Chains A and B, each alone.
Chain A
Amino acid sequence: MNINRFCSLKALTLATLLEVACLAPAISAAGETKSALTYNNGAFEPATLTVAANEPVKLTVTNTSDAAIEFESFELNRERVVLPGKTIVVLLPKLEPGEYHFFDDFHRDRSQGTITVR
């Protein structure tokens, strides 16, 4: 093995470990990804979530604004009202890699986000 190949393999391994480390806190022992969204000031935070593919997801959505919102995603087939100051849990099945858009149906023009599955 030449030095260049060794270095690139090492870099790849490091990158993989870093990626796993980033996802690891969100994965429970039961093989279920836990993730969270907060809605405030007309926007979801974070606007982009990354979750692991082929793992069920337990998504917590907290509405800290003073108006009701409706978390909705056509691609995920989910639709849930969240009253001000409340938190709900949205259960998602194992997802294929890809991008899944979600929005607040009550303020669709300005409140959107994406769940990236990889």
Chain B
Amino acid sequence: MNVVSKALAVAGAMVILAQMIRPERTNPKVTKALDAPADVSAILHRGCFDCHSNETVWPWYSEFAPVSWLVARDVAHGRRHLNFSTWDRYEGDPGTVAEKLDKIRMFVNAEKMPLWFYLPMHSSARLTPADREAIARWATTEIDRIQRASGVTMQEPSK
């Protein structure tokens, strides 16, 4: 067996062994879904929900290591920062809700979300300028409403 064959055999064994380390791929209960107009909700579902909700559609390739590790890590990271399925957990603090909305508006406007490496395998998540505008308009309206209702003032409104 030459060196290349040995290297391939070792790599193959490592890939097989890697399959034994299976990250958690769960969709916990939705405690309270975000209440947004139907058109905005549809855009958010299409572009954001795989990483930012408990309604992740786990793709087939997330079954196989090491991709499974990366996908599980990205979803966990996304849910930690913003989870549309547990919106009630933010609602006790109007300032936090406004902040989350401001971040959504900022990241979507700057085309930082959805993440570039997510799009090749999820072309439907690609947001058009009209999609981005609809999200920004909705977020701005909601922030204004929250500020009027609660008296909270955004400390650093993003454009």
Contact = CB atoms under 8 A, between A and B. Distances in A.
B155 A80 contact: yes
Q: Is the interface of B mostly helix, strand, loop or mixed?
A: helix
Contacts of A78: 90, 93, 96
Contact of B99 (A81, A83, A86, A91): A81
Interface residues of A, number: 16
Given A91-B92, A91-B93, A92-B92, A79 B99 contact: yes
Nearest to A68: B156
- Among A81, A88, A90, A92, the one with the most B-chain Cβ atoms within 10 Å of its Cβ is A81
Nearest to A105: B81
Interface residues of B, number: 16
A79 B98 CA distance: 9
A77 interface: yes
A74 interface: yes
Contacts of A89: 95
Interface in B107-143: none
Given A74-B80, A81-B155, 13 more contacts: A68-B155, A68-B156, A79-B96, A80-B95, A80-B96, A80-B99, A80-B155, A83-B155, A88-B155, A90-B93, A91-B92, A91-B94, A92-B92
Interface of B: 80-81, 86, 89-90, 92-96, 99-100, 103, 154-156
